[in-house]
Chains A and B, each alone.
Chain A
Amino acid sequence: QKEVEQNSGPLSVPEGAIASLNCTYSDRVSQSFFWYRQYSGKSPELIMSIYSNGDKEDGRFTAQLNKASQYVSLLIRDSQPSDSATYLCAVNPGDTDKLIFGTGTRLQVFP
């Protein structure tokens, strides 16, 4: 059973701080990794994709991938209350085009 694990949270950070969200996956051959943001009652919104080891930055977001450790993370700099949502880690296992999702980490950014 291929799995994607996330801490359910909530992760509470003050406004302006860095939020760090972590994800581990079980299938070593996984090739593609994604972070989605989901506001309550809404559908998931893609915020980052990462395919190779290292860091990828996009605005306030940085995705980090370490395939040897089977670990992917998302850093949100200068966190804002509007960042409060559930963040879903998704992994493409490589043998099929579907995504396997973690159960998500709820982030709360307080003023």
Chain B
Amino acid sequence: GAGVSQSPSNKVTEKGKDVELRCDPISGHTALYWYRQSLGQGLEFLIYFQGNSAPDKSGLPSDRFSAERTGGSVSTLTIQRTQQEDSAVYLCASSLDGIYEQYFGPGTRLTVT
């Protein structure tokens, strides 16, 4: 079956602009996660959803970051007033339920100029 998909694959934006990143999880997976990976760094947790609610959003770096999930499926991560330090690969993962293995999408590479 289809894996996790993300769009766009690459995004270049100017500092101060808003961006939206999209994630479409594996069909039937109830849990969805957002991570980011900066160049040469490990994966940093941002937020996760169980259904449409977000029990843990402790990793969001600032109030410029927000995310939503609708219909228990697609999720959007929004970054407002982007800064250069937001440049990273944003990865989405989904799992059948929160306790099971997480499968990653291909990521969105965000570059803020």
A69 at the interface (CB under 8 A from B): no
Interface size on B, as a range, is: 20 to 34
Q: Determine how close the nearest CB of chain B comes to the CB of A12; give it in whole angstroms.
A: 19
Question: Is B45 part of the binding interface, using a Cβ–Cβ cutoff of 8 Å?
Answer: yes
Determine if A32 is an interface residue (Cβ-Cβ < 8 Å): yes
Could you say which of A21-29, A53-61, A76-84, A91-99 contacts chain B? Answer: A91-99
Decide yes or no whether B56 CB sits under 8 A from chain A.
yes
Contact in complex: A97, B50 (CB < 8 Å): yes
Residues of A within 8 Å of B61, CB to CB, are none
A82-111 interface (Cβ within 8 A of B): 88, 90, 92, 96-104
Asked if A101 and B43 make an inter-chain contact with CB atoms under 8 angstroms apart, the answer reads: yes
Q: List 26 A-B contacts (CB under 8 A).
A: A34-B101, A36-B104, A43-B104, A43-B105, A43-B106, A43-B107, A46-B101, A46-B102, A46-B103, A46-B104, A49-B101, A88-B42, A96-B56, A96-B58, A97-B56, A98-B33, A98-B56, A98-B59, A99-B43, A99-B45, A101-B35, A101-B42, A101-B43, A103-B41, A103-B42, A104-B42
